[in-house]
A and B are shown apart, each in its own frame.
Chain A
Amino acid sequence: MALLEVENIDVFYGDVQAIFGLSLSIEEGQTLAVIGANGAGKSTLLKSIAGLCTPATGEIRFNGERINDVPPHRRVPLGISLTPEGRRIFPSLTLEENLLVGAHSKRPGYWNLATLYETFPLLADRRSRLGTNASGGEQQAAAIARALMSNPKILLLDEVSLGLAPVVVEQIYSALPAIVEQGTTVLVVEQDVNQAMKVSDRVQCLLDGRTVLEGKPSELSRERIASAFFGI
Chain B
Amino acid sequence: MQWANAVVQGVILGGLYALLAAGLSLMFGVMRLVNLAHGALAIVAAYMGMVLVNETGIPPFATLLIVVPVMALAGWILQRTLLNTALNRQALAPILVTFGLAVILQNLMLELFTADNQSIDVGSLAGASIQITPNIAVGVFPLLTFVVGVAVIAGLQLYLAKTTTGRAMRATSDDREAAQLMGIDHRNIYALATAIAVGLVGLAGVFLGVRTQFNPTFGDVTLIFAFEAVIIGGLGSLWGTLWGGIILGVAQVVGAQAFPSSGVLLGHIVFLLVLAFRPTGLFPKVVNG
* Chain B residues near A132 (CB-CB < 8 A): 287
* Chain B residues near A147 (CB-CB < 8 A): 181
- Judge whether B175 and A88 touch: CB under 8 Å: yes
**In the complex, which range does the number of interface residues on chain A fall in?**
20 to 34
Contact of A91 among B180, B181, B289 (CB under 8 A): B289
In the complex, A73 Cα to B188 Cα: how many Å?
Answer: 11
B-contacting 9-mer, from A58-66, A76-84, A115-123: A76-84
Q: Which of B179-216 contact A (CB under 8 A)?
A: 179-186
Supposing A93-B167, A150-B183 touch, asked if A88 and B287 sit within 8 A by C-beta, the answer is no
Q: Which of A83-109 contact B (CB under 8 A)?
A: 84, 88, 90-93, 97-98, 100-102, 104-105
Q: Does A42 contact B (CB under 8 A)?
A: no
* Chain A residues near B289 (CB-CB < 8 A): 90-92
A208 CB to nearest chain B CB (Å): 25
Q: Does B121 contact A (CB under 8 A)?
A: no
In the complex, A92 Cα to B170 Cα: how many Å?
Answer: 8
Supposing A73-B185, A130-B287, A132-B287 touch, asked if A90 and B180 sit within 8 A by C-beta, the answer is no
A152 CB to nearest chain B CB (Å): 10
Supposing A93-B174, A132-B287 touch, asked if A101 and B180 sit within 8 A by C-beta, the answer is no
Q: Does B50 contact A (CB under 8 A)?
A: no
* Chain A residues near B167 (CB-CB < 8 A): 93, 97, 100-101
- Judge whether A91 and B287 touch: CB under 8 Å: yes
* Chain B residues near A98 (CB-CB < 8 A): 171
- Judge whether B287 and A76 touch: CB under 8 Å: no
* Chain B residues near A104 (CB-CB < 8 A): 164, 168, 182-184
A153 CB to nearest chain B CB (Å): 14
* Chain A residues near B286 (CB-CB < 8 A): 92, 130
B144 CB to nearest chain A CB (Å): 33
- Judge whether A90 and B168 touch: CB under 8 Å: no
Contact of B174 among A72, A92, A146 (CB under 8 A): A92
Q: Which of B160-178 contact A (CB under 8 A)?
A: 164, 167-168, 170-171, 173-175, 177-178
- Judge whether A50 and B170 touch: CB under 8 Å: no
Q: Does A220 contact B (CB under 8 A)?
A: no
In the complex, A218 Cα to B287 Cα: how many Å?
Answer: 47
B185 CB to nearest chain A CB (Å): 5
Residues 273-289 of B, flagged 1 when their CB comes within 8 A of A and 0 if not, give 00000000000011111
* Chain A residues near B178 (CB-CB < 8 A): 84, 88, 90
- Judge whether A72 and B180 touch: CB under 8 Å: yes
In the complex, A84 Cα to B182 Cα: how many Å?
Answer: 11
Contact of B168 among A71, A76, A88, A101 (CB under 8 A): A101
In the complex, A71 Cα to B181 Cα: how many Å?
Answer: 10
Q: Does A2 contact B (CB under 8 A)?
A: no
In the complex, A150 Cα to B178 Cα: how many Å?
Answer: 14
- Judge whether B171 and A90 touch: CB under 8 Å: yes
In the complex, A88 Cα to B179 Cα: how many Å?
Answer: 9
Supposing A92-B170, A93-B174 touch, asked if A101 and B179 sit within 8 A by C-beta, the answer is yes
Nearest chain-B residue to A143 (Cβ)?
A: B178
Nearest chain-B residue to A106 (Cβ)?
A: B183
In the complex, A132 Cα to B288 Cα: how many Å?
Answer: 9
* Chain A residues near B170 (CB-CB < 8 A): 90, 92-93, 97
Supposing A73-B183, A73-B184, A77-B183 touch, asked if A101 and B175 sit within 8 A by C-beta, the answer is no
- Judge whether A101 and B184 touch: CB under 8 Å: yes
In the complex, A52 Cα to B179 Cα: how many Å?
Answer: 12
A75 CB to nearest chain B CB (Å): 8
Contact of A101 among B182, B287, B288 (CB under 8 A): B182
Please report A residues at the B interface, Cβ cutoff 8 Å: 50-52, 71-74, 76-77, 81-82, 84, 88, 90-93, 97-98, 100-102, 104-105, 130-132, 146-147, 150
Further 6 A-B residue pairs, CB within 8 A, beyond A71-B185, A105-B183: A52-B181, A84-B178, A92-B174, A92-B286, A92-B289, A130-B287
